[in-house]
Structure 1
Amino acid sequence: MKQKQIKKYTSEEKKLFEQFVKGIESLPKVPCGEPYDVSDYDKKNQKVLQEIDQNRNHPWIKEVWNVNRNTHLDKPAIKYRGHIFTYRDFFIQSYRYAKALKANGVKKGQEFVCCIENVPEFPFLMGAASIIGAKVNLVSADMDKEYLKEIIANADAPYIFVSDKNFVEFAPTLKEVDSNKKVIILPLEYSLHGDNLYRELTEKYYKLDQVAFEQAKQEISNLVDIDEFLNSGKSFDDAKVFESTGLNDEFTITYTSGSTSSNRPKGLVHCNRSYITMGRYHDPKLSGIPSMKDRTMLAFVRTMSDTDFMSAVSDLFLQSGTTAMEPINDSKFVLDSIAMNKPSVAITSRSVWLDVMKRQRSEPRYKNLTFDDLIAPMCIGEPLDAGEEKQLNRWLRSMKSGVALTKVPIACMSLAGGDSEHGGIFLVMYRAYQAPKMKLFGIHEPAGMGTYGMVQVKALRPDGTHCDLMEPGQLVANSPCTMEGYRNNPKAEKEFWITDANGKKWANLNTFGYIDRFNNIYVKGRMNLSKGDIPNYQIAESILKDTKKIMSCEVVNSEVDGEPVYVAHIEPQIDTSFDEDKVLTGAALRCRSNFNEDLLNRLYFRIHSNEESFELTPTLKRSFKALTDEGVSEKCKLASDYLPKEKTSQSTRGKTLILKP
């Protein structure tokens, strides 16, 4: 890997660091006035959560400082295009941006907008906001135009930071915002001073359209040059930069992935508590999970998602790890980004991993690529079907994943779960290795995910009573990492909070699922996407039992002549013979056995080739909207047509049976 530190420190930077240290060490140390309710926790976790309220009631950046000030100031915090930014660099640049924001009138509690990619300026701006007690609203340029205008109008600080990569797409919105709003364009290579050590490679995937960019700039009258903005903060009084905020102060507004339907994703408000608590629980002594200290994670998720900041920036910084910034959010670029950055951990959706696997196998230039440093490839944001996991694990072994540490290729896929509202509260490392243990206790499916000690989870029946072990229900979870609430969306807010039969208030995960005897969580399909009498995930799991022939299956709801039906979108297993009639006959028989024959008259099979696969959303997850919009096309075949005629039995309409796993 090409790599060099960005530069030696100038006298100005040394002074900035001195003033940063003076300011951050002067923040008051006071316990939280409204501590988190720990009454339902065991003594161990009560003690941890009470310690957070007692000793960590401060801004996010103060927590980062406390973790790294003694041992990691000159260790890598950020990797970007062959350059290293240390923790000292991070604190200096955060303070530099903070001074400029303060000099231009941004006050504690005010909110500014960012539409930026995974570049070093992303954590710098987050650090700056934390220093001055401001809130950051992280948007995406491809959101609905009117929605973006509402967001910008509601932000009470006048500044909008936008990456040059996003500017052309964002410009039509920016043209129509109030003239008092100021737009600051951040080039992707601003912190590199044009010294991208991988330019030849990165420009194969992304190169700024200079003509369109300059034309868009001409149409925006309220642009502020980034250098001019930063220079304006040089003379600002250092004694007035830092603001004291606490655990319950709002810090970020991020957005749901929008993977289901809308380009008006719900805005989520998170406080300092979310990030500080999650960072604290990444301590191996609390979680049992190996630390990311001195290891690198690839930051590939879009910045509009809380997952990116929490998992790929905050959690890393609070473990003294390194985040590798990747602004090219394109599944076609992942192989090259991994080769450039050599991460220990890479988190992305199963859809991206599957696309990456196919690309590596089919493109000759990746023939000799290996993942020597990648000890923990991880799926997030989507379920991982058993057939998909089987194929990906086989591929990871061929890629020698993690051999720099393990010597032999033993790494397999790990999973993290939760959602933007709750944070990454579930995790299972190397899921395939948990199978023998699960089978000993009669659990014949991929292992569920564990939780951190600060997370409380239940599965609820429709009447609000708690489900028994392994009984499917509606998953709910509470933790200090749960969002404060939705932004300007009272309807969604009301649906998010659920009260159980005991009167306890829970945060809705909007998924089917169940819990085993080890308190592992089995997260199944989205409840709002399952509209039939049988949950879609149960039909999919029956079809997916044939992991030798079927890699993926997604079941969606549709209509035929006004009657509700199911459509099972199936992708065959890779590198295996696929007798369509035989495989679909087997799928039909399993569905009849697990449910009833009537289902087969309402179920259609739709085969996707490995080349076609599934359409993805801008957040690189499988698009339910695309599958639903396709409806029952000429490519669909009725499941009942695959039943052996001599074995067809009388319909059992009205006797739907939903089996427990």
Structure 2
Amino acid sequence: MSKKASGKELPDYIKNRIWLKSYPPELPAEVEIPENETISTIAASAAKKYGDMVAQIFYGREFTYNQLDGMIRRFATALKNLGIEKGETFAIHSPNCPQFAIAYFAAHAIGAKVTALSPLFVAREVGYQLKDSESKTLFVMDMFYPHFKAVKEETEVENVIAFNIMGQKAQIQDGEGVHDMIDLIMKTEPKSWEELNPGVEQEDIAVLQYTGGTTGLPKAAMLTHRNVVSNVYQCQPYNDGVKKRFKIDRVIGISILPWYHIYGQTVDLIMGMAFGSMGIIFPRFDPGEILDAIQKYRPNYFFGVAPLFVALLNHPKIKEVDMSSLVYVNNGATSIPVEVVKKWDEVVKVPIVEGYGLSEASPVTHTTSPLLKRKIGSIGTPIPSTLAGIIDPDTMEWLPPGKEGELVVSGPQVMKGYWNRPEETKKVFFEAGGLKWLRTGDIAKMDEDGYFWIVDRVKDIIKYKGHSVYPRDVEEVLYEHPAVLEAAVVGVPDPEAGENIKAYVTLKPDYKGKVTEQEIIEWCKQRLAAYKYPRMVEFIDQMPKSAAGKVLRRILREKAMAGS
């Protein structure tokens, strides 16, 4: 007899955590989260632990933990002198760079909550996030200042601090009243972490992470210090285990995950501080620069997203660069096609392992890591102190292993709720087994070993003549075609079919003009069920993507509906 997920009882596979049988000895079932740990205490401890070790390298310039600590405390003191108070929202509009890190930890040092804006945002998007988050202070790269200037009257921003990414004074025209980061740091005597401490508690909101969600305007997941710190401690056994197993003295990582997103903040920025890593920072994705850095600095960690790995595989330098220093290559944020994984294995000879997370979970809930047996296409098992299960999204009944349904998760990393969106919050939470559960909106399945697979997004399922078509199924077949560089499949409203299936394809340069749309359709027709193959194919030069590297299906749907 099936059980309602919203009932009190959990299914046996969750109660028994069947994934634990797949855990290696290095992984505990539970991790202990120190009661008083916050993002700022992690930063405060870093200099004491790692001192003169190099923390970051940015275009050849090195920054030690002691140097960062001094600048963080100076800047935090300056922020306090400006009157910025505990609990206020501090907005950061910047690409990855040392200044971002300094501002991020300085804001947390004085108890502000941080919201970061995508470097790709235009004025309208900047205005929306600043207004919705009730930001009082904006820390902005000088190049992005005009976007804010165009909308500043719509916001509640009282303090603007600008910086130049190359360490010079900010280059701003008509910037009356704008503070310069260098001026603030140079003229301020730093206070100690203890003097700066405003009494931040673990349940205080640390980050407002904006996420598109399934409908409407972006909304912010409220992530507390406990949420984010828990995720750091949940991931630590993987870090320690990989270092021990592969005899690594120190993590050297490629810092390309965008810090404006919680994936980059937690996995790269905060864990880097916590674990004493050295990060080679990139403000933008340039495959040639990344390959040069791998050759020069010999990193052992590389966390990225699928489009990044696709671009690297198709770069001419890939076969010239020695990638043997890498031991932990991880894909997150978006599923990676199996064909790309196989090609990476063949060319680079260091396996890509997959993980899974979402903004609402700080973000990591599942991973494979080099410690676990790899099952290509799987996101791995739930991380320590995390429960996961599958429900029927319509009936809310628990589903057994092997059945496809909506992935739900529970753990200390799961958000408090959505900022100023009580109704939206109610829709994604339910209680079961005395625990709060988050509905992820992703269709997934689990095998008998406790490994999970993402099938697709609930909102991305295409309903063709009553059949459910998962875009990823079609995309996997498209990626098998030798001419296809990237592919994305969307549903287009159709009066007869309900929704029709359209594929957008970017061709590899050598194949442009040599392959037709009909040939791509025939390729899929031969490899998919009759209701699954795309009825329409359009070649485009470039996929629309978020700064996190996700293909923006919404843009493609709008393009398809506009008939272009």
TM-score of Structure 1 vs Structure 2, range by shorter chain: 0.7 to 0.9
- What is the Cα deviation at residue 305 of structure 1? 0.7
Aligned match of 2:492:
558
Aligned match of 1:537:
470
CA contact (8 A) 2:238 2:371 kept: no
Query: Residues 156 and 589 of structure 1: is their aligned pair in 2 closer, same or farther, counting only changes over 3 Å?
Result: closer
Letter in 1 for 2:442: T
Q: Answer yes or no: is 1:92 the counterpart of 2:70.
A: yes
Q: Answer yes or no: is 1:187 the counterpart of 2:128.
A: no
Q: Answer yes or no: is 1:427 the counterpart of 2:367.
A: yes
**Residues 131-210 of structure 1: pairs in structure 2 closer than 5 A:** 131-140=109-118, 142-143=120-121, 145=123, 148-149=126-127, 151-153=129-131, 158-174=136-152, 177=155, 181-190=158-167
Match of 2:95 among 102, 117, 137: 117
Q: Answer yes or no: is 1:411 the counterpart of 2:336.
A: no
**Residues 382-421 of structure 1: pairs in structure 2 closer than 5 A:** 382-396=334-348, 410-421=349-360
Aligned match of 1:652:
none
CA contact (8 A) 2:73 2:191 kept: no
Aligned match of 2:305:
349
Letter in 2 for 1:189: M
Match of 1:254 among 171, 189, 209: 209
Query: Residues 550 and 376 of structure 1: is their aligned pair in 2 closer, same or farther, counting only changes over 3 Å?
Result: farther
CA contact (8 A) 2:488 2:551 kept: no
Letter in 2 for 1:411: V
Q: Distance in 2 between matches of 1:616 and 1:110?
A: 31
- What is the Cα deviation at residue 130 of structure 1? 2.7
Cα deviations across residues 288-312 of structure 1 (Å, max 9, x unaligned)? 5447862222222333211111011
- What is the Cα deviation at residue 511 of structure 1? 0.5
Match of 1:564, SS?
strand
Cα deviations across residues 82-138 of structure 1 (Å, max 9, x unaligned)? 122222222222211121112222222222221122111222222222322221221
Q: Distance in 2 between matches of 1:393 and 1:575?
A: 23
Match of 2:182 among 202, 207, 227: 227
- What is the Cα deviation at residue 332 of structure 1? 6.8
Q: Distance in 1 between matches of 2:558 and 2:106?
A: 43
Match of 1:381 among 303, 312, 333: 333
CA contact (8 A) 1:268 1:483 kept: yes
Q: Answer yes or no: is 1:619 the counterpart of 2:553.
A: no
Give the TM-score taking structure 2 as reference length.
0.81
Q: Distance in 1 between matches of 2:16 and 2:130?
A: 40
- What is the Cα deviation at residue 389 of structure 1? 1.8
Match of 2:260 among 304, 322, 346: 304
- What is the Cα deviation at residue 351 of structure 1? 1.3
* Matched residues, number: 533
Cα deviations across residues 518-552 of structure 1 (Å, max 9, x unaligned)? 21111121111224144432772596299475866
Q: Distance in 2 between matches of 1:97 and 1:560?
A: 56
Q: Answer yes or no: is 1:507 the counterpart of 2:444.
A: no
**Residues 287-366 of structure 1: pairs in structure 2 closer than 5 A:** 288-290=241-243, 294-329=250-285, 334-336=290-292, 338-339=294-295, 342-358=298-314, 360-361=315-316
Match of 2:52 among 74, 82, 96: 74
Q: Which has the larger radius of gyration?
A: 1
Q: Distance in 2 between matches of 1:550 and 1:535?
A: 27
Q: Answer yes or no: is 1:281 the counterpart of 2:234.
A: yes
Q: Distance in 1 between matches of 2:113 and 2:453?
A: 34
- What is the Cα deviation at residue 478 of structure 1? 1.3
CA contact (8 A) 2:378 2:454 kept: no
CA contact (8 A) 2:462 2:501 kept: no
Aligned match of 2:42:
63
Match of 2:502 among 567, 581, 590: 567
Cα deviations across residues 311-358 of structure 1 (Å, max 9, x unaligned)? 111122222212222212456754455456543222222112212322
Match of 2:87, SS?
coil
CA contact (8 A) 2:254 2:301 kept: yes
Cα deviations across residues 585-627 of structure 1 (Å, max 9, x unaligned)? 46325433xxxx5x26x94142648xx4633334332221233
Which structure 2 residue ranges, 5 or more long, are not aligned? Answer: 1-13
Letter in 2 for 1:281: Q
Q: Distance in 2 between matches of 1:573 and 1:151?
A: 36
Q: Distance in 2 between matches of 1:314 and 1:163?
A: 21
Aligned match of 2:414:
482
- What is the Cα deviation at residue 46 of structure 1? 10
Query: Residues 432 and 102 of structure 1: is their aligned pair in 2 closer, same or farther, counting only changes over 3 Å?
Result: closer
Which structure 1 residue ranges, 5 or more long, are not aligned? Answer: 1-38, 195-212, 397-409, 436-444, 636-661
Letter in 1 for 2:336: L
Query: Residues 393 and 433 of structure 1: is their aligned pair in 2 closer, same or farther, counting only changes over 3 Å?
Result: farther
- What is the Cα deviation at residue 151 of structure 1? 4.3
Q: Distance in 1 between matches of 2:296 and 2:153?
A: 37
CA contact (8 A) 1:300 1:329 kept: yes
Letter in 2 for 1:416: G
Query: Residues 260 and 57 of structure 1: is their aligned pair in 2 closer, same or farther, counting only changes over 3 Å?
Result: same
Query: Residues 463 and 512 of structure 1: is their aligned pair in 2 closer, same or farther, counting only changes over 3 Å?
Result: same
Letter in 1 for 2:418: Y
Q: Distance in 2 between matches of 1:147 and 1:542?
A: 30
Give the TM-score taking structure 1 as reference length.
0.70
Match of 2:329, SS?
strand
- What is the Cα deviation at residue 474 of structure 1? 0.3
CA contact (8 A) 1:67 1:320 kept: yes
Match of 1:109, SS?
coil
Q: Distance in 2 between matches of 1:154 and 1:346?
A: 34
Q: Answer yes or no: is 1:591 the counterpart of 2:546.
A: no
Match of 2:202, SS?
coil
Q: Distance in 1 between matches of 2:306 and 2:241?
A: 25
CA contact (8 A) 2:252 2:299 kept: yes
- What is the Cα deviation at residue 276 of structure 1? 1.9
CA contact (8 A) 2:221 2:418 kept: yes
- What is the Cα deviation at residue 513 of structure 1? 0.3
CA contact (8 A) 2:521 2:534 kept: no
Structural RMSD (CA): 3.9
Q: Distance in 2 between matches of 1:105 and 1:607?
A: 54
Query: Residues 354 and 155 of structure 1: is their aligned pair in 2 closer, same or farther, counting only changes over 3 Å?
Result: closer
Q: Distance in 2 between matches of 1:539 and 1:366?
A: 27
The alignment-based identity, stated in percent, is 16
CA contact (8 A) 2:258 2:547 kept: no
**Residues 516-535 of structure 1: pairs in structure 2 closer than 5 A:** 516-532=447-463, 533-535=466-468
Query: Residues 84 and 220 of structure 1: is their aligned pair in 2 closer, same or farther, counting only changes over 3 Å?
Result: closer
Q: Distance in 1 between matches of 2:193 and 2:65?
A: 20
